[in-house]
A = this chain, B = another copy of it.
Amino acid sequence: MTEFVDKYRNELLLNVMPFWEKNSVDHQFGGFFSCLDRDGTVFDTDKFMWLQGRQIWTLSTLYNQVEENPVWRDMAEQGAKFILKNGRDAEGDWYFSLDRAGNPLVQPYNIFSDCFASMGLAALYKATGKEEYGKVAEDTFNRILERQHNPKGKYSKAYPGTRNLKGFALPMILSNLSLELEHIVGSATVETLIDEVIHEVMEVFYQPETGLIMESVNLDGSFSDTFDGRLVNPGHTIEAMWFMMDLAERRSDKALMTKCVDIALRALEYGWDEQYGGIFYFKDILNKPLLQLEWDQKLWWVHLEALVCMAKGWAYTGDPRCKEWFEKLDSYSFQHFADPEFGEWYGYLNRQGEPLLTLKGGKWKGCFHVPRALLKVYKTMETIPVYK
């Protein structure tokens, strides 16, 4: 695996991080620009809290895990300064977006803003030891736990009671978040949340008949034949599986590890576009027409999470199917998403694999999935080389 260690480390440190270091800092108002065109030009100055928090996390994590580079720490801190000053409403909930100067644009209707703010500040606390970051990370985490059963609050458009579905995004992210905050909230909290998420993902959302994980199920775990209930997001399933693999490793649970590998491979086979290559963004489990007009597009994060998942599956278990899929995904991704000329990766390809948008960052894409995946792939292969 040595070739991949070097390839992914070099891509991270030479082609991806320099793009963000050079182009994303707002030296006038603080915080990060995320709307960057192919060559790094800022094409819009709005600031989205998901991406502010995520970039703070990425920079801090690289500082914590790769190299104590003060450039990364200082960039993360200037981002933290901006969000701590402007990011929260009177209740301490995090806005969805701000304008360049930090004025709120969109209300805190989306609890994932809070998740990524907490995650970023927790990593920065680890990097700097400054109490303020740990304190706000923890307060935000507790507020998320309070809001978790009604995360959209008054902004929810669903009429209460008619159709009670539950989604697996929030339990997933909560257990991930608790791991990121283990140095702050303690292992007991983490273990409780892990018990819950393993049960939810592997037993409630997993459907044995199809071998797949649904995005939403009825409260009792049964299938809902509705637009939401029929939806499969292969990338999300695959991302969940590498996260579950880490939990299986943490607990030395071989049965769980095997099940994770099987589900991930099933989701890859199910999601792969045999005609043009790449993984579809969405599918309907009954092959009915989807609401998502972007269903056939190829998104960067889907492929990066799949690379992480297959790298971990390969390293943890030595399963040759994981090796094969890793190499297939590696080939597709570097051919279609990477941009050796300007750095960073394209985000959105059409079904045929051509860039649908020229952007490297936007409302939903920032300094996160690409560097995180490159880091995880090379660390996985470097530290757990079961098979060389």
Binding site for B on A (CB under 8 A): 35, 37, 43-44, 46, 95-96, 99, 103-107, 109, 154-155, 157-159, 162-163, 226-227, 288-291, 293-297, 348, 350-351, 356-359, 362-363
Residue of B nearest to A109 (CB): B157
Flag if A162 contacts B105 (CB, 8 Å).
yes
Asked if A289 meets B357 with Cβ closer than 8 Å, knowing A157-B96, A157-B107, A350-B351, the reply is: yes
Bound Cα distance from A43 to B291, whole angstroms: 12
Q: Which residues on B sit within 8 Å (CB–CB) of A37?
A: 288-289
Q: Which residues on B sit within 8 Å (CB–CB) of A363?
A: 227, 291
Q: Which residues on B sit within 8 Å (CB–CB) of A44?
A: 226-227, 288
Residue of B nearest to A35 (CB): B289
Flag if A362 contacts B46 (CB, 8 Å).
no
Nearest CB of chain B from residue A347's CB, rounded to whole Å: 9
Nearest CB of chain B from residue A320's CB, rounded to whole Å: 36
Which of B159, B294, B348, B357 contacts A105 (CB under 8 A)?
Answer: B159
Which of B226, B297, B358 contacts A293 (CB under 8 A)?
Answer: B297
Flag if A296 contacts B350 (CB, 8 Å).
yes
10 contacts between A and B (CB under 8 A): A37-B289, A44-B226, A44-B227, A103-B159, A105-B162, A107-B157, A107-B159, A155-B155, A155-B157, A289-B359
Residue of B nearest to A348 (CB): B293
Flag if A104 contacts B162 (CB, 8 Å).
yes
Nearest CB of chain B from residue A155's CB, rounded to whole Å: 6
Which of B103, B154, B155, B293 contacts A294 (CB under 8 A)?
Answer: B293
Q: Which residues on B sit within 8 Å (CB–CB) of A290?
A: 357
Residue of B nearest to A363 (CB): B291
Known contacts A107-B158, A289-B359, A350-B350, then 16 further A-B pairs from the complex at CB < 8 Å, ordered by chain A residue: A35-B289, A37-B289, A43-B288, A43-B289, A46-B226, A46-B227, A104-B159, A106-B158, A106-B159, A155-B157, A227-B363, A291-B363, A293-B293, A293-B294, A293-B356, A350-B351
* Interface class of chain A by DSSP: loop
Nearest CB of chain B from residue A34's CB, rounded to whole Å: 12
Q: Which residues on B sit within 8 Å (CB–CB) of A359?
A: 289
Nearest CB of chain B from residue A203's CB, rounded to whole Å: 27
Q: Which residues on B sit within 8 Å (CB–CB) of A163?
A: 99, 105
Q: Which residues on B sit within 8 Å (CB–CB) of A158?
A: 105-107
Bound Cα distance from A163 to B46, whole angstroms: 11
Flag if B162 contacts A103 (CB, 8 Å).
yes
- Which of A95, A96, A226 is the most central at the interface, judged by chain B CB atoms within 10 Å of its CB? A226
Residue of B nearest to A107 (CB): B157
Which of B99, B109, B357 contacts A162 (CB under 8 A)?
Answer: B99
Bound Cα distance from A356 to B297, whole angstroms: 11
Q: Which residues on B sit within 8 Å (CB–CB) of A46?
A: 226-227
Residue of B nearest to A294 (CB): B293
Residue of B nearest to A355 (CB): B289
Bound Cα distance from A107 to B107, whole angstroms: 19
Q: Which residues on B sit within 8 Å (CB–CB) of A289?
A: 35, 37, 43, 357-359, 362
Q: Which residues on B sit within 8 Å (CB–CB) of A43?
A: 288-289
Bound Cα distance from A362 to B105, whole angstroms: 32
Q: Which residues on B sit within 8 Å (CB–CB) of A106?
A: 157-159
Nearest CB of chain B from residue A286's CB, rounded to whole Å: 8
Q: Which residues on B sit within 8 Å (CB–CB) of A226?
A: 44, 46
Nearest CB of chain B from residue A229's CB, rounded to whole Å: 10
